[in-house]
């Protein structure tokens, strides 16, 4: 009987240990607390790209290897989807990752929608920058957009800076039709007025996904006007543009 009880006790300890191993915790500057995280490290090893992350079922550090950026970009959403639902996803890039590679990695992932509001399933942390995005089904946007219209609101914070000073971008990206039926695209950044861009409307129907490069470049240029280095600005802009395209409606 005693032996059976000891076996049950050992089994209980092993189960508890396995459950603990399924979680990774780290200090989070945004919430100023220790939270559950899911870290993905993108780097280069010789002629290959690598994606390293912890297996959610244990402490094992898994490494996937890719021959080109396109293969990595295609696999990345599957890696991000493995994150525990309670964890914050943090995406890190090695110093030897070029802008060309970053431009191929779109920060897409699964989303959650409730009514006409969608949010990315998990925010992303890139270095000390925090990125989140949500879909607004018809709120008012100022600047050159100046109307009530469905749009995507993307937030960028510097977690090294506290309070309102840490809010770098409060970006609104919208696509709508004018009174003549033309398709219009606009971007307005309301925190620091870093972007206020609305090119001429066009009679050719467009989708938000067809404007991905323009959105990415606009964000990158706005960040560089705030003295953020080119590589960092390109990384952040690529991820933010990817999140915006994922959340935006297919067309207008």
Highest averaged pLDDT of the listed ranges 64-78, 94-108, 169-183: 169-183
- Residue by residue, DSSP assigns 25-93 as EEEETTTTEEEEEEEEEEEEETTEEEEEEE-TTSS-EEEEEESSHHHHHHHHHHHHHTS-TTSEEEEEE
Residue 70 pLDDT exceeds 80? no
Banded pLDDT at 6 (limits 50, 70, 90) = very low
Indicate the pLDDT class of residue 45, thresholds 50, 70 and 90. Answer: confident
Supply the pLDDT for residue 147.
94
**Residues in Cβ contact with 116 at an 8 Å cutoff, skipping those fewer than 6 apart:** 135, 136, 137, 138, 150
125 with 41: CB under 8 angstroms? no
What is the predicted pLDDT for the residue at 23? 60
Q: What predicted TM-score, i.e. pTM, was given to this entire model? A: 0.59
As a whole number, mean pLDDT of residues 179-191 equals 93
- The C-alpha atoms of residue 220 and residue 231 are separated, in whole angstroms, by 9
In this prediction, residue 146 carries a pLDDT of 95
Number of other residues whose CB lies within 10 A of the CB of residue 1 = 5
Q: How high is the pLDDT of residue 195? A: 95
Helix, strand, coil tally for the chain in percent (to 5)? 30, 35, 35
Over the stretch 186-224, which tens digit does the pLDDT of each residue have?
999 999 999 999 999 999 877 777 888 889 899 999 999
Residue 102: C-alpha distances to residues 52, 93, 155, 218 (Å): 16, 9, 20, 16
pLDDT at 9: 39
Q: Which of 142, 133, 51 has the alpha carbon at shortest distance from 97?
A: 51
Write down the pLDDT at residue 28: 61
pLDDT digits (tens, 9 = 90+) for 124-172: 777 788 888 888 888 899 999 999 999 999 999 988 887 888 899 999 9
16 versus 219: which is more confidently predicted?
Answer: 219
Alpha-carbon distances, residue 20 vs 33, 97, 103, 169, 218 (angstroms): 19, 33, 36, 37, 43
Q: Are 212 and 245 in contact (CB under 8 A)?
A: yes
| Domains along the chain with CATH numbers | 24-104 (3.30.420), 111-247 (no CATH)
Hey, which residues does 199 pair with through a beta bridge? none
């Amino acid at each position: 009987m005693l032996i059976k009880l000891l076996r049950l006790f050992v089994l209980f300890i092993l189960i508890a240990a396995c459950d603990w191993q399924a979680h990774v915790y780290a200090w989070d500057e945004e919430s100023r607390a220790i939270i559950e995280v899911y870290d993905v490290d993108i780097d280069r090893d010789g002629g290959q790209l690598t994606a390293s992350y912890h297996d959610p079922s244990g402490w094992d550090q898994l490494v996937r290897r890719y021959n080109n950026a396109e293969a990595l970009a295609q696999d990345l959403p599957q890696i991000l989807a493995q994150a525990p639902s309670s964890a914050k996803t943090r995406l890190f890039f090695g110093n030897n990752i070029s802008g060309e590679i970053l431009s191929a990695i779109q920060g897409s992932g699964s989303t959650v929608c409730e009514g006409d509001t969608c949010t990315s399933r998990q925010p992303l942390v890139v270095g000390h920058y925090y990125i989140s995005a949500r879909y607004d089904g018809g709120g008012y946007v100022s600047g050159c957009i100046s109307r009530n219209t469905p749009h995507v609101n993307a937030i960028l914070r510097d977690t090294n800076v506290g309070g309102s000073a840490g809010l770098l971008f409060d970006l609104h990206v919208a696509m709508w039709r004018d009174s003549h039926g033309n398709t219009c695209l606009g971007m307005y950044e309301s925190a620091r007025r870093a972007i206020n861009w609305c090119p001429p409307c066009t009679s050719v129907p467009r989708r938000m996904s067809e404007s991905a490069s323009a959105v990415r470049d606009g964000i990158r240029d706005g960040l560089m006007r705030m003295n953020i280095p080119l590589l960092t600005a390109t990384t952040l802009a690529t991820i933010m543009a990817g999140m915006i395209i994922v959340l935006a409606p297919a067309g207008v």
